[in-house]
Chains A and B, each alone.
Chain A
Amino acid sequence: MSRRHKVAAALMALAIVGAACGGDDDDSGNGGSGGGDGELSLDDPVSIIMLAETTGESEAAVPFYDDGASMAVDDLNEAGGIGGEEVEYERISTPLEGAEAESAFLEAVEEEPTAILGLPSSGQVLAAAQRVGEAQIPVLYEATATQALVGAPDSVANDYGFLVRPPQDEISAGIVRFAVESLEAESVGLVCANNPFGETGCDIAEEAADELGVAVAGRETVEQDTTDFSGAVLELRDAGADAVVSYIFPNAVAALHNALAENDLDVPHVSGSASLIAATGAITSGNMDNFYGIDDCSPAASDDPEVQEWAQRFEDEHGYAPNYGVAESYDAVMMVAEAVEAAGSTDPDAIRDALAEIEYEGVCTTYRGEPSQGLHHQLVGVSFDEEGQPAIEETYELDDYEF
């Protein structure tokens, strides 16, 4: 059983890498790399280190990053590796706490990998950013830290850090945009967690509503572990909100959505973490049709047959449908491979340069390098069926990030 999957994986990986290489040849065939066509030979094998926790290592740890990246590495190696060498992959357990994340990053640096992936929390990115600049190894952050982009307010950007996810500011604005443009809201109510994520999200939402010409019915701040939202919901109901957008953590999203139905505020609810909660059975109010999410991408709902096949293969192996985190981890590994091919060597600066102008069609989105060093320029608005399975309602293509 597993062998058949591995064969399929190898074929799939070949197809993806092949397609990517093909595209790349067109773009940068005259990039001066000595490797030339097809047969790349490297002095050192490509090595990739993932900085993330996995299930059980802490309360918030999730398996997505490691699972996605491992699958990509397996696929690459099934297809013969890069430059005739197997890709080496290692995960270093990286706590959320800043100082410990910094330590883990430095540990990774000592192994002199070709590239470093991960650091999925913004706090980790902020703590490690200065070291990233000093280490001069390409790093693909799987976080949404806007400050990691060149030119952002309070930026911690440097030449080597790239953002694989869309920045939080764009997600926050996208939530309001989806509520207004697709769900036809005219007066949105905001629910914000009492932490930087929630407060910044709501600030941006207010700006976005202003730009879109709709009213903000109210802004309710809640503690991050709130379980009872009736107070906030009643305020928004009385203020006449015809859509609710929330910037809160997944558990709270479900509680809020149930509270909306319980308190007769039957309006659409859009959240950034909806897809993490939709299939858990936490939405008990029965009005899944008012529940919407904004995601980086939704591979499980994709209508692209190749992505569908990939998603199925992942689910067979890991027992759960891949989400954007899995897809982006997979893509990040593939992008490193792509950049090595383009650079024709494992020289960090050459890889960095290749990443800076990459154009890569992955399972999540089509990534493109640009001056801000953000790679991901897409958001999807999703709805859910009664089982919590997502369906893509809207796809937003984003411009280069400028501040």
Chain B
Amino acid sequence: MVMEVALGGALGAPLGGSPAVLAVSSKFISLTAAGISQGAIVALAAVGFLLVYKATGVVNFAQGDLITLGAYLALWLTRDFDAPILAAYAGAIALMFLIGVVLERVAYAPLRGRSIHVVVIATLGAAIVIRTVIALWLGASPVALDSPARGHLWRVGGAAIPLQRIVIVVVTLLVVAGLTWLFGPTAFGRQVRALAADRETARLHGVRSARLSMVAFGLSAALAGLAGVLIGPANSSFDITLGFSVMLGGFAAAILGGFGSLTGVVIGGFLIGLVEQLFGGYVLRDYRGAYPFLLMILVIALRPQGLLSGRAAHERL
């Protein structure tokens, strides 16, 4: 069950080394792996809201709860229908697409053209409803979602890395590559860029912004579903707050990367994860949870356009 990986001397911890050296380096490896996987989780959560943001200019504050909903849908499909786990994932993601479209119709489309504050409040309202529906339907007690990779470990130099977290890193990179392509040469990408450049003119030129925004919300919710079925099993157990804390990290990652940049959000996510785990693993450990946000505020102070982007921050928002 456990994949043993022999460790080369290059990592600084030869198997014959002193226990102290071994311990120090295994902690370092372990924390690095934790940081990278945390970064991937955060980035996976963030790409969902970035997609809607790029297509419609709306930041959907219900995105975290959509992630939670995705995990619970998969749980429901395995539990009540005995669906095979991968089929349950696929079903959950498909259902999430529909839910995203419905959400767009119900909570966003009626507000098109309204002040952004109104839209934010509406997404907050939607978040409350989603959370309550989950709790009423499947309960608020901790639950656990299965996964083929669950319980498997990858051992590197005394550190054990759960396979699920490696899966998340790989999937995140694939998703970002896919989205980068989607926003690139495809018709969807052209239309989104047209809308982003000039909504009125794009509409005059036949970009169907209503359909585009439905598709964007649907895809974004499907991505939230994907994030849910991956992040859910990465937690030993979770409850209906699963998505919310992940989302906060997602916002911070998005800012670090320069809001709107897909590559940037991945790098921002990794940075946040590594800073929290590595820096927080050794220095002022009680305040570890604050590091991502301090980093974010620092970046806004020194380089508001994000670490990658060359443009000013406010331009994108």
Which A residues fall within an 8 A CB radius of B?
A: 55-56, 58-62, 194, 221, 223, 225, 227-228, 230-231, 234-235, 238, 250-251, 254-255, 257-258, 262-264, 276-277, 280-286
Contacts and interface: CB of A to CB of B under 8 A. Distances in A.
16 contacts: A56-B132, A59-B135, A227-B236, A228-B38, A228-B277, A230-B30, A231-B30, A231-B34, A234-B30, A238-B23, A250-B237, A263-B30, A276-B142, A280-B141, A281-B143, A282-B143
**How large, as a class, is the contact surface on chain B?**
35 or more
Name the residue among A223, A234, A235, A285 with the largest chain B CB count within 10 angstroms. A234
A252 to B, nearest CB: 8
A40 to B, nearest CB: 39
B153 interface: yes
A251 B30 contact: no
A225 B288 CA distance: 12
Given A231-B34, A263-B160, A280 B144 contact: yes
Interface in B224-282: 234-241, 245, 277, 281
B291 to A, nearest CB: 11
Contacts of B142: 250-251, 254, 276-277, 280, 282
Contact of B144 (A254, A262, A263): A254
A181 B235 CA distance: 32
Contacts of A286: 151
A351 to B, nearest CB: 33
A227 B286 CA distance: 16
A227 B144 CA distance: 13
Tell me the interface secondary structure of chain A in the complex.
Answer: loop
Given A230-B31, A231-B277, A284 B140 contact: no
A225 B285 CA distance: 15
Contacts of A250: 142, 237
Contacts of B240: 59
Name the residue among A56, A228, A282, A283 with the largest chain B CB count within 10 angstroms. A228
Contacts of A235: 27
Contacts of B23: 234, 238
Contact of B289 (A61, A194, A234, A281): A194
A277 B237 contact: yes
Nearest to B136: A56
A250 B141 CA distance: 9
A254 B33 CA distance: 20
A255 B159 CA distance: 16
A311 B136 CA distance: 24
B131 interface: yes
Contact of A281 (B34, B139, B144, B241): B144
B7 to A, nearest CB: 15
B162 interface: yes
A284 B151 CA distance: 6
Contacts of A257: 236
Contacts of B56: none
Contact of B141 (A194, A238, A276, A283): A276
Contacts of A258: 151, 236
Contacts of A263: 30, 159-160
A223 B281 CA distance: 12
Interface string B172-209: 00000000000000000000000000000000000000
B286 A194 contact: yes
Interface in B137-182: 139-144, 146, 150-151, 153, 159-160, 162
B144 A284 contact: yes
B203 to A, nearest CB: 40
Contacts of B139: 55
B220 interface: no
Nearest to A250: B142
B244 to A, nearest CB: 9
Given A254-B144, A277-B237, 8 more contacts: A59-B131, A227-B234, A230-B30, A262-B162, A263-B30, A281-B146, A282-B144, A286-B151
Interface string B27-39: 1001101100110
Contacts of B235: 227, 251, 255
A231 B135 CA distance: 32
A254 B234 CA distance: 12
For the complex of A and B, the 10 pairs showing the least CB-CB separation, nearest first, are A282-B237, A254-B236, A56-B136, A255-B236, A282-B144, A262-B160, A56-B135, A281-B144, A223-B289, A284-B151
A161 B289 CA distance: 37
Contact of A280 (B26, B27, B140, B237): B237
A347 B23 CA distance: 66
A60 B131 CA distance: 11
Contacts of A231: 27, 30-31, 34, 277, 281
A111 to B, nearest CB: 27
Contacts of B19: 238
B30 A284 contact: no
B299 to A, nearest CB: 21
